[in-house]
Amino acid sequence: MRVLVPFTARDPKTRLAPVLDADERRRFAFAMLRDVVSAIRAAGHDPELLVPGPLDPPADDLGGDPSGSVDGADADPLDDSDADPLDDLPRTIDERPLTPAVNAALSRLGDGGVGELAVVMADLALATPAALARLSGAGGDVAIAPGRGGGTNALVVRDPDFRVDYHGTSYRDHRRIAADAGLSVDAVDSMRLSTDVDEPDDLVEVLLHGDGRSAAWLREAGFVIDTGGESRVAVRRSDG
């Protein structure tokens, strides 16, 4: 299945500004994008970027073996796990905002045998092949993995009559749009897919449950889990 991943590198993740500067936010956003693209491929699907213009990705300096050595001395020349997942990735360039850009992409449905298309957000740093398999295996004319706070973090569309509207409480709106068009909706109950990483508190989830580039990047940047005195666990950046 083709999986669109909308992404913009223009001042991404502004709500992380209390803990990351602009350059760091950009690097972390690309680390999450690489994790998402890798998980989509590992689930057996075909990722495709949906971007407003050319990308200029920072070096994938945590790629390959993010939890271990990066010197590559033992690298198997036939093992391409060190390859940047963004290399050779198909991309559609659309300068419009998210909703019209995705709807334009959805207009491919029904043409040339395209029976379904998925849209997966680029900040789902906890996405795993298993979670994405549950998304693609869900039934319905539309399958939605809701995000915390009522967003639509991932969806599969199987009917050309469906259109997205990402503004506001999009999960509720997408259910209504589907109902108005007589389409069935299946919800995907996944903590991993519900976790879009927008705010400092979300970084705790990446440190707890992530095992890819995003978690490695945060650890390299000095983030640790802070259990001291908080009613809910927080992150803390080490001084060292």
Nearer of residues 161 and 198 to a copy of itself, judged by Cβ:
198
Least Å distance, CB 229 to a copy of itself, is: 11
Running DSSP on this structure, what letter comes out for residue 217?
Answer: H
Question: Which H/E stretch holds residue 155?
Answer: strand 152-157
Q: What are phi and psi of 15, to 5 degrees?
A: -75, -10
Q: Map residue 137 onto helix, strand or coil.
A: helix
CA–CA dist 77, 213 (Å, integer): 21
DSSP 170-196: HHHHHHHHHHHTT--EEE---HHHH--
**Contact set with a copy of itself (CB under 8 A):** 15, 128, 130-131, 134, 145-146, 148-150, 168-169, 171-172, 189-194, 198-199, 201, 204-205, 208-209, 225, 227, 231-233
Nearer of residues 67 and 107 to a copy of itself, judged by Cβ:
67
Least Å distance, CB 89 to a copy of itself, is: 26
Least Å distance, CB 233 to a copy of itself, is: 5
Nearer of residues 21 and 189 to a copy of itself, judged by Cβ:
189
Nearer of residues 48 and 123 to a copy of itself, judged by Cβ:
123
